[in-house]
Amino acid sequence: MDKVLIFIQFSCLVLLFPFQSSSLPLCSDLRAPRIQKGHLTFCPYNGKMCCSSSQDQQLQKRFQAMNISDSNCASAVKSILCATCDQFSAKLFTIDTELRPVPILCNSTSNSFCSNVWKSCQNALISNSPFAPALQSKAIVPRNATLSKLTDLWQSESEFCNAFGGVNDENTLCFNGEQISLNKTNTIPPPKGICLEKIDNGSYLNMVPHPDGSNRVFLSNQAGKIWLAKIPDQDSGEVLNLDELNPFVDLTEQVHLDSTFGMMGMAFHPDFEKNGRFFASFNCDKEKSPGCLGRCACNSDVDCDPSELGSLDSEEHCKYHTVVVEYSANGTGSSPSMAEKARTEEVRRIFTMGLPFTADHGGQILFGPEDGYMYIMMGDGGSKGDPYNFAQNKKSLLGKIMRIDVDNIPSEEEIVKLGLWGNYSIPPNNPSSEDKQMEPEIWAYGLRNPWRCSFDSERPSYFLCADIGQDQYEEVNIIYKGGNYGWRVYEGPLPFKPQITPGGNTSLNSIDPIFPVAGYSHASINKLGSAAIAGGYFYRAQTDPCTFGSYLYADLYAGYMWSASETPENSGNFTTSNTPFSCAMDSPIKCDMVPNSNIPALQLVFSFGEDNKKDIYILAQNGVYRVVRPSRCNYACSKEVASVNPHMPALSQGCLVNSYPGLVLLVSAVLLSLKFFL
């Protein structure tokens, strides 16, 4: 009978969790679509788009040079060229990592734009046709031909549409001759509440799932220790299995610890199971650590005089550094995956930079799930109002998200020649490849203090970062290639006027900022003291189906949690909800509660974590909390699946068979099939 229950539970989950599309508005060059000032003269696009006026003119010249002989074909080809301007052009023109010559043309029995293109253009002469089948071995290509018809290039309509056609599915969009619009009714409702259980009393800044996919995670604290811990199963009633006296690695002698300093991030190489490489991001003190030597971020390249910093900050300039260091778990176990200890000896210094002030220096590091490059989150360096305007200065690495390659290490001579800050190389498609004013490491800029960024595990193009505000606003941003997020010209969506500006000003009209997709004002949380956002994750676990697809984040000080949902899905437009949360009565470790309330007293919320099952954790000052089934806190969720764990009470709603048309027949068929296997 247990096997039957497990099979039914799985069947319910299959229906409750359809695959998600990754159709985030994104240009084919990976930049953010923008609202164009003024109208395009050639392409009939409005609102957010991926074309500037100059690009529109280039498309018009290309179209005119084609000299298409048939008006119907000309109209179709014009729309295809203009699809470059669509805010979803990255999805329309991309298959895997290769750019297509034309967008994916809708090709279905009910509505085939691809078929219409074939009928309109099969006998029309086109100069330098975009439909030339460079990658199609079966097609017939006339020699030395610049003028061609589709029938010259392709043997049949079916072959043509096999090459250029596609349908809307979980991975792609297709082009139907018009600007893409999404179904406005396809929205994710906010959860009614988040139920937590406490599984550890420790205080940690970072959680990273073990790269081997097991139920283990790495946890690190601000002092510089990293532990390897085993995560208990949901509904088991067990706590985190962590030996506090035996850390995976102890870097405390290398880390400078203070209120705003310490070990800020860790990341494990995507091939950790083979190479044992892992990385720590922390602060060091050059007066105490002989190896803490690096160039000051305040320098002549950014029109900053280090000798003037003393008037703005009591600490000696660039006494403290932020570093990213490589370590190894090789040789400490039969394989890196089996290692329970790692070496404390530095393998390689990846990055070193002296800090002008003593706050706002970020420090998180991540590997991109699709590109394998390392992302480094760097704040503006501190001091109220970013007085030297580092965040807007393209020659400064402060107030930036950097993207570097730690697999291709150049020689020392090349590092010096290129002016790099350590042992890494520059990915070839970083923004500097198009913007020569940009330092080569920079991926995005205009940030104050990015505190916890994450890639959506189901849609890696969704790269979200929380950015801590100063006086007015805390924000969450979708990070795009080359994006300018406004600070210090803006604080969130609000114009910001700095008090002192020794580094000069950037005017409002001189930038095109990307505004937050979520966030909150300091006034809205009714708190007279401090406020600081802690970024989280898109919830992708099967534990709480009513939270699935929402992005969770919190305030470090105020004890608030929010969920942000897209409206509609995959549009990049979010609505936020201040989401209640409480602690399960059967929590393995009893939760301390805020007096006269049912809210767990988390104290400071440092960060969020995610394990290999996509369950979400809150890393708080007084412990580790995990998101669990909503019914354990009496939150209503009609999608919740029955518990089959003997240690936990079963849910009365079970799989709610009657709520889903056709599910009764499915379960009956499942049970009939199981008769032959049990």
- Give the Cα separation of 366 and 267 in Å (integer): 6
Mark whether 146 and 278 lie in a shared domain.
Answer: no
Of 407 and 317, the structure prediction assigns the larger pLDDT to 407
Confidence of residue 255 (pLDDT cuts 50, 70, 90): very high
Q: Could you tell me if 130 and 217 lie in one domain?
A: no
Among the residue ranges 209-213, 218-222, 598-602, the one predicted with the least confidence is 598-602
- Average model confidence (pLDDT) across the chain: 88
- Residue-wise pLDDT for 234-251, tens only, equals 999 999 999 999 999 999
Looking at the structure, tell me whether residues 140 and 44 fall in a common domain: yes
Which of these ranges, 84-88, 298-302, 306-310, 395-399, has the smallest mean pLDDT?
Answer: 306-310
Task: Report how many domains make up the chain.
Answer: 2
Amino acid at site 615: D
Based on the fold, state whether residues 381 and 464 are members of the same structural domain: yes
Residue 620 near residue 611, CB atoms below 8 Å: no
Q: What is the DSSP letter of 676?
A: T
Residues of the domain holding 397: 194-633
Residue 350 lies in a domain: yes
How high is the pLDDT of residue 8?
38
Q: Is residue 4 part of a domain?
A: no
Tokens of 229: 């811990």
Regarding whether 337 and 423 lie in a shared domain, the answer is yes
Determine the distance from the C-alpha atom of residue 169 to the mean position of all C-alpha atoms in its chain, rounded to a whole number: 22
Domain end: 118, 150, 166, which one?
Answer: 166
Identify whether residues 140 and 198 lie together within a single domain: no
- Tokens encoding 23: 């159709």
**Where is average pLDDT lowest: 15-19, 40-44, 574-578?**
15-19
Asked whether residue 371 is assigned to any structural domain, the reply reads yes
Strand-pair partners of 206: 220
> Same domain, yes or no, for 153 and 208?
no
Q: Which amino acid is at 630?
A: P
- 111 in a structural domain: yes
Token code pair at residue 44: 């009939």
pLDDT at 135 over 70: no
Q: Which two tokens stand for residue 447?
A: 């940030």
CA–CA distance, 433 with 417 (Å, rounded to integer): 17
Please tell me the distance from the alpha carbon of residue 486 to that of residue 482, in angstroms, as a whole number: 12
Instruction: Give the model's pLDDT for residue 169.
Output: 67
Using the Cα atoms of residue 584, residue 579, residue 486 and residue 406 in order, give the sign of their dihedral: positive
Same domain, 158 and 291: no
- Which DSSP helix (H) or strand (E) runs through 207? strand 206-209
Q: Could you tell me if 356 and 485 lie in one domain?
A: yes
> How far, in Å, CA of 257 to CA of 154, rounded?
67
What pLDDT sits at residue 656?
37
445 close to 427: Cβ distance less than 8 angstroms: no
Instruction: Give, for 610, the enclosing helix (H) or strand (E).
Output: strand 605-610
Distance CA 607, CA 81 (A): 45
- Residue whose C-alpha is closest to residue 166's, from 107, 225, 215: 107
Q: Is residue 172 part of a domain?
A: no
pLDDT for 514 beyond 60 = yes
- Domain identity same for 155 and 222: no
Q: Do 121 and 227 have their domain in common?
A: no
The two tokens of residue 210 are 């073990």
Indicate if 123 and 28 belong to the same structural domain.
yes
Q: Contact 554/560 with Cβ under 8 angstroms?
A: yes
Q: Does residue 3 lie within any of the structural domains?
A: no
Give a yes or no: residue 8 inside a domain: no
Residue that is last in its domain, among 124, 150, 166:
166
Report if residue 179 sits inside a domain: no
Per the listing, tokens 């957010």 go with 48
Going by the DSSP 8-state scheme, the letter that residue 571 receives in this structure is: S
What does the pLDDT read at residue 3?
42
pLDDT exceeds cutoff 50 at 524: yes
Which pair of tokens denotes residue 198?
């406490």
Amino acid (1-letter code) at residue 103:
P
The encoded tokens of residue 452 equal 């916890």
Residue 314 CB-density burial (10 A; 0-12 exposed, 13-18 middle, 19+ buried):
exposed
Pick the closest to residue 519 from 480, 566, 553, 479 (CA basis): 553
Closest CA to 397 of 304, 268, 499, 533: 304
pLDDT band at 146 (very low <50, low <70, confident <90, very high): confident
Could you read off the pLDDT of 549-574 as tens digits, one per residue? 999 999 998 789 999 999 888 889 99
